[in-house]
Amino acid sequence: MKTLARDSKDMTEDKKLIVNDFSIHVATVNGSGSQSSNTVLLRSIFQMGIPVSGKNLFPSNIMGLPTWFTIRVNKDGYIARKKEVDILVAMNPQTAVEDIKDLRPGAVCVSPVELNLDKIRDDVKHYVVPFGELANKASDNVKLKKLLTNIIYVGVVAELLDIDQKEIDKAIERQFEGKAKAIDLNVRAATIGREWARENLKKEDPYRVERLDLTKGKIIIDGNGAAAIGCMLAGVSVVTWYPITPSSSLCEQLIDYLEKYRLDKETGKRTFSVVQAEDELAAVGMALGAGWSGCRSMTSTSGPGISLMSEFAGFGYFTEIPTVIFDVQRVGPSTGLPTRTSQGDLMSTYFLSHGDTKHVLLLPSSVEECYEFAMKAFDLAERMQTPVFVLSDLDLGMNQWMSDPFVYPTTPLDRGKVLSKEDLEKLGGFARYKDVDGDGMTYRTLPGTAHPKAGYFVRGSGHNENAAYSERPEDYLYLMDRLKRKWENAKKLVPAPVIDHNKDAKIGILAFGSTHWAILETRDQLMKEKLPTSYCRVRALPFTQSIPDFIEAHEQVYVVEQNRDGQMLDLLRMEFPHLTAKLRSVRHYNGLPVDADFVTEHILEQERNAR
Amino acid sequence: MVQEVTSPSPAGKAPQTNKLGLTLADYKGSPSTLCDGCGHDAITSQIIKAFWELSIEPHQVAKLSGIGCSSKTPAYFLSRSHGFNSVHGRMPSVATGAHMANHKLYMVGVSGDGDTASIGLGQFGHLIRRNVPMIYIVENNGVYGLTKGQFSATADVGSTLKDGTVNRQTAIDLCGLAIELGCGFVARSFAGDPKQLVALIKAALAHEGTALLDVISPCVTFNNHEGSTKSYKHAKEVDRPLHELGFIPFYEQITVDYEPGTVQDVEMHDGSHLRLKKLGLDYNPTDRFAADRAIHQSHKDGTLLTGLLYIDQETPSFTKLANLVDKPLSSLTPNELRPPKEALDEIMASLT
Ligand SMILES: Cc1ncc(C[n+]2csc(CCOP(=O)(O)OP(=O)(O)O)c2C)c(N)n1
Ligand code: SF4
Ligand SMILES: [Mg+2]
């Protein structure tokens, strides 16, 4: 039989077991209800103590288009996307042929009998399942049958991989918390799948799970949820937003948390205010208005919204108003691939707005950092009196990540330099933009402060120390140079890079954000190729001194990022022109989360070419 | 006109003060840098007067604007208040945010016809839709003053620029639009009618929601010529006041000294009264359809209908719907801002 496999000659008859190290790729139709089944599958493995990660590769569509869910199971704790698919669950007729073509020989394919996928490739291990018949057993209701098919494949896969049924039941209970009927139906359907597989399928593949003890006490959460918790604990009181994938779930989760934890105990009234704005321009305008008026305020968006916020971003920088802006990046320009991931907003956000503008950017890599940097962002914004951006991305923001539970903050809120009525009584007045402390960060008052000298005028036009209109060259220079000084001082306040300096390494890797997870794995892969590496994970802009030091200390540094033009590379070249010759670049920008194989191959290739 | 100023000047010498002991000068701003005779300055004077006469604490006022000659004016009144000159057409969003953070502030927004009817039309509409409590004054001169006299979207059909260019596009009537959008306080006035204007500003301050004042404010430099429908001369000629206005603040006694049927008394939320004395026309500002009709009729007739066009005090304000604690969010203490460790523990437990 003719095979469509890319390369079938190395199909191995490996009888060795592969335990806790594989990926499952579930192909379904968007809106078919597969999401909850996939979560059950993910969680049941997690509950067995085995490290997992789950990524949803979905289309910009509500219903009908193909969607894939990838679960990576890895005993060593690698949770980046795995390039190779080991087990395909091909439930979507639209994509089944493509999906199976992409499989590597020896991979596993679970599919409905009517798709006849076993006729297309004979170099993969097929498990053909009569899902229709099994669904008939699970329910008489046509609609339910369709939904239950999803949990039936979970049952089949659970049997094949030896996932404990108790854990499946537990995960179902959790998924459908409080809905006894749904729990019952799903548990039964999963069992139907499982029992059918036990009686009818002969296990002929190496993949299986075995209990470990590596996830005890851990949580599973998406980056947007983590950021939402961080914002709440930062004391955010004004939230303004305009819906956009992949950022919406940040504000949506935040609102849910606020409704639960930020109500006044006595009156039940809110200690926060939320507006779904008419656009991102209004959202950031409201956030700045609230920041000026004395609240911790925030908005969250993605690339198109960031573009709209441009004018206000420069205004906030120039008039020195604190607010926090989350950019959960997706693929652009324009609408681009709205449900795919990217790190393409780095450059445009760093310089967002016209004129001499530069912003503070925080670059979380993990859900834990989404949480921590959310809190950090509010402290920084109020300390520095400027908009602070947190750049996450779709992969980090919307996918499921394992993490240690978050630690309650030990430092108090830093509200920055705010003068009260009493302060003004003592001082007799103040100059809004005077650099009293020499750090570029000045004192402000809040509207409503009951003192005749508390008021000052915020203006986007030139102003002097007293916030009065001025076009005098000296005043403008003073202001711009002070803003620069403030910027320099930001370097002491932003999260420092995390550097792992390997003494044997001639080459270094520099990365940021969600790229981190592939780098961890790449470094191990390179080590096996006898190429030890050092690693610098940038966590914020402006760059701190340790970054050029890191580059200096290595022969070459590979800058790995998820955009086409190497934006981080360009920023490094710009700020450290003398180090340009040392920098090399690896760029992944097809919309999928970067995987370790890709990075490793590209580094190895450049190393070979350089020789 | 009702005298709101309480303490009379002793022995003629010292300047008059209001209930807070502040003089009119205490409500002034820095000197205006606008052209001599600009309508905007006339409006500024009435804002100063209204806030002084009502004895509003200046530090409790936030004055905001967009960009334009009109938007510069917050610098020329209430120097003790907090000011915010934002970006072009986006003052409503900043005002909304400021209000979310501190709903105790009195907010006065000043904008132009360019700032509101063109670049800012979207935010203007949504401010009204949210019913954020503030006075929104449009200083309407039919042109972009600051960029040297181009037509704005409120220029009437047939009105000309100085060089003779004729406007052929329909004018946006901000009052008609505001009524359509559900605004609960819609008034039109003229910079050349200070008495009417000051009463309207006071009443707007007492309104719980967005109050729009569309004030014809001639641009003496670019739009005060023959052929302009926003010149002083033209406005004066076609001005048709709907009623004579008087404002009685909540802390004053109401006296009944008028013949029945000649006066309509509107009680505001804070107990103040707006007294509308009839001027021939039989106009009921609580009738939305009538207001709409009157506005359209005035366009047809080429008149300028001024006064309180529409009032509806029933629509709940943004503040009311927000269901906030009484004190401003900006005054919450760290303990009120950051939920306790138990909250995080609970969330973490739900994620394991
Ligand atoms: C984004 C942006 N576009 C254009 C301008 C230039 N601009 C400044 S004021 C103005 C028009 C102001 O007209 P209006 O609001 O009617 O104010 P007026 O000067 O007539 O009082 C324009 C177009 C700007 N400041 N910002
Ligand atoms: S240009 Fe027109 S609007 Fe501007 S200050 Fe002069 S008169 Fe007033
Ligand atoms: Mg104008």
Locate the chain A residue with the closest alpha carbon to B88: A311
Residues of chain B in contact with residue A238, where contact means CB-CB under 8 angstroms, are 97, 100-101, 329
Q: Classify residue A453 by burial, with Cβ atoms within 10 Å: 0-12, 13-18, 19+.
A: middle
Q: What is the mean pLDDT of residues A307-331?
A: 98
What CA–CA distance (Å, rounded) separates A467 from B295?
42
A261-295 tens-digit pLDDT: 999 999 999 999 999 999 999 999 999 999 999 99
Looking at the predicted structure, is the pLDDT value of residue B7 above 60?
A: no
What's the confidence (pLDDT) of residue A2? Answer: 34
CA of B153 to the centre of ligand 3 (A): 9
> Is-contact A19 A117, C-beta < 8 A?
no
pTM reported for the whole predicted model: 0.95
Phi/psi of residue A27, each to 5°?
-100, 120
| Amino acid at site A144 | L
What's the confidence (pLDDT) of residue B281? Answer: 79
| Amino acid at site A596 | A
B91-100 tens-digit pLDDT: 999 999 999 9
What CA–CA distance (Å, rounded) separates A63 from A197?
30
Q: Classify residue B85 by burial, with Cβ atoms within 10 Å: 0-12, 13-18, 19+.
A: buried
Among B21, B70, B75, B71, CA closest to B48: B75
Please name the residues between 325 and 384 in chain A that touch chain B, using a CB distance below 8 Å.
none
B241-288 tens-digit pLDDT: 999 999 999 999 877 677 878 899 999 989 999 999 988 778 999 999
Query: Which of B58, B93, B351 faces A289 most closely, judged by CB atoms?
Result: B93
Give me the interface pTM, i.e. the ipTM: 0.96
Among A78, A72, A67, CA closest to A525: A78
Mutate to test the pocket of ligand 1, among B147, B152, B223 (most ligand atoms within 8 A of CB): B147
Per-residue tokens: A174: 């959790």
Q: What is the mean pLDDT of residues B170-197?
A: 98
What's the confidence (pLDDT) of residue A106? Answer: 94
CA of B91 to the centre of ligand 2 (A): 20
Q: What is the mean pLDDT of residues A561-575?
A: 98
Looking at the predicted structure, is the pLDDT value of residue A127 above 90?
A: yes
What is the least distance, in Å, from the CA of A320 to any CA of chain B?
12
What CA–CA distance (Å, rounded) separates A395 from A328?
9
Residues in Cβ contact with A542 at an 8 Å cutoff, skipping those fewer than 6 apart: A358, A360, A487, A488, A490, A491, A494
B290-342 tens-digit pLDDT: 999 999 999 999 999 999 999 999 999 999 999 999 999 999 999 999 999 99
Across-strand partners of A556?
A507
Residue recorded with tokens 């707005």:
A353
A468-498 tens-digit pLDDT: 999 999 999 999 999 999 999 999 999 999 9
What is the least distance, in Å, from the CA of B41 to any CA of chain A?
18
> Is-contact A443 A436, C-beta < 8 A?
yes
> Is-contact A517 A595, C-beta < 8 A?
no
The full set of domains in chain B, from first to last, is 24-326 (3.40.50.970)
Pick the atom of ligand 1 nearest to B112's CA. 15
Interface check for A218 against chain B (CB to CB < 8 A): the answer is yes
Task: Tell me the pairing of strands B61-65 and B106-112.
Answer: parallel
Query: Which of B98, B339, B351 faces A293 most closely, judged by CB atoms?
Result: B98
3-state DSSP assignment of residue B332? coil
Percent of chain A with pLDDT over 70: 98
Mean per-residue pLDDT over chain A, rounded: 95
A30-46 tens-digit pLDDT: 877 788 999 999 999 99
What is the least distance, in Å, from the CA of A149 to any CA of chain B?
26
What's the confidence (pLDDT) of residue B259? Answer: 80
DSSP B17: B
Helix (H) or strand (E) segment spanning residue A194: helix A180-200
Nearest Cα residue to atom 8 of ligand 1 = B68
pLDDT band at B156 (very low <50, low <70, confident <90, very high): very high
What's the confidence (pLDDT) of residue B2? Answer: 38
Q: Are B58 and A452 in contact (CB < 8 Å)?
A: yes
Positive or negative: CA dihedral A532, A534, A537, A543: negative
Residue list, ligand 1 pocket, CB within 6 Å: B 67-70, 88, 112-115, 139, 141, 143-147, 152, 219
Interface check for A321 against chain B (CB to CB < 8 A): the answer is no
Residues of chain A in contact with residue B25, where contact means CB-CB under 8 angstroms, are none
What's the confidence (pLDDT) of residue B11? Answer: 56
What's the confidence (pLDDT) of residue A15? Answer: 64
Looking at the predicted structure, is the pLDDT value of residue A4 above 50?
A: no
Q: What is the mean pLDDT of residues B139-162?
A: 98
> Is-contact A593 A81, C-beta < 8 A?
yes
What's the confidence (pLDDT) of residue B256? Answer: 67
Across-strand partners of B295?
none
What is the least distance, in Å, from the CA of B160 to any CA of chain A?
32
Please name the residues between 222 and 241 in chain A that touch chain B, using a CB distance below 8 Å.
229, 232-235, 237-238, 240
> Is-contact A310 A353, C-beta < 8 A?
yes
Q: What is the mean pLDDT of residues B183-212?
A: 98
Looking at the predicted structure, is the pLDDT value of residue B1 above 80?
A: no
Per-residue tokens: A353: 């707005």
Per-residue tokens: A482: 């002070």
Q: How many Å from the N-terminal Cα to the C-terminal Cα in chain B?
A: 70
Q: Strands of A223-308 (E only): list them.
A: 238-241, 273-276, 297-301
What's the confidence (pLDDT) of residue A10? Answer: 41
Query: Which of B60, B102, B352 faces A218 most closely, judged by CB atoms?
Result: B352
Q: What is the mean pLDDT of residues B196-216?
A: 98
Q: What's the farthest any 2 CA atoms get from each other in chain B?
A: 79
Beginning with the edge strand found earlier in the chain, give each strand of the sheet holding A52-57 in spatial order.
Answer: A52-57, A66-74, A21-29, A87-90, A108-112, A125-129
